[in-house]
Amino acid sequence: MSVCIIYHSETGNTRHIAQHIASAIPDTRIIEVTDKAEHSRVTRFLMQCKAAMSEDTTTIEPAQIAVRDYDLIVFGSPVWAFKPTPAIHAAIQALTGCEKKRAIAFATHGGKPGKTEETFKKWIEGRGMQFAGFKDINQKDIEDDTKNADVVKFVKEAIPSYL
């Protein structure tokens, strides 16, 4: 079995969870996607919300992500305006070799994940993958051992060979 975690994180919460999963599950590759869009500090929050709400994509690094060799793909994103971010949307669009793969998603948020799960499901299925579950983590629980163990369990149970 092998797992590929693909995540976007601006302030570190989603990165923290992604790294925790990677450290707990052997044979895991972890890929951070960075958003290359530039916003002024004054308008950044509004522009990010507007882009997320409209389900925009953005320019990301890396520009292509090959996932042919993995059994499970895990996407991680912050919640922006009740949805996953444009960078993780762009990452899903940037995949090669993803058709028919099993995929799950997690998101960190400040208390209102809103339509994040259904939006992830739509994007994942839109690329021909099987959507196999979603977990949301409140930012206040990022350092909570029980919640972290819960996320690892969620990922392990989605690995095809674990079933």
Ligand X SMILES: Cc1cc2nc3c(=O)[nH]c(=O)nc-3n(C[C@H](O)[C@H](O)[C@H](O)COP(=O)(O)O)c2cc1C
Under rule CB under 6 A, residue 110 binds ligand X: yes
Q: Which range in 3-11, 29-37, 53-61, 147-155 contacts ligand X by CB under 6 A?
A: 3-11
Under rule CB under 6 A, residue 14 binds ligand X: yes
**What CA–CA distances, in Å, run from 119 to 12, 27, 99, 113, 131?**
22, 28, 18, 11, 11
CB of 45 to ligand X, least distance (A): 5
Q: Which range in 19-27, 65-73, 92-100, 102-110 contacts ligand X by CB under 6 A?
A: 102-110
> Among residues 150, 162, 163, which one has the least CA distance to residue 26?
162
Q: Which two tokens stand for residue 94?
A: 């940037």
Tell me the residue type at 75. F
**What CA–CA distances, in Å, run from 54 to 82, 84, 107, 117?**
11, 11, 18, 16
Tell me the residue type at 128. G
Under rule CB under 6 A, residue 112 binds ligand X: yes
Under rule CB under 6 A, residue 108 binds ligand X: yes
The 34-53 contact track toward ligand X, x by CB under 6 A, reads -----------x--xx----
Binding residues with ligand X: total (CB under 6 A): 23
CB of 10 to ligand X, least distance (A): 4
Under rule CB under 6 A, residue 119 binds ligand X: no
| Contacts of 138 by beta carbon, 8 Å cutoff, 6+ apart | 108, 109, 110, 111
Helix (H) or strand (E) segment spanning residue 138: strand 130-138
Residues in the chain, overall count: 163
CB of 139 to ligand X, least distance (A): 4
Chain residues that interact with ligand X, rule: CB under 6 A: 9-15, 45, 48-49, 78-82, 108-114, 139
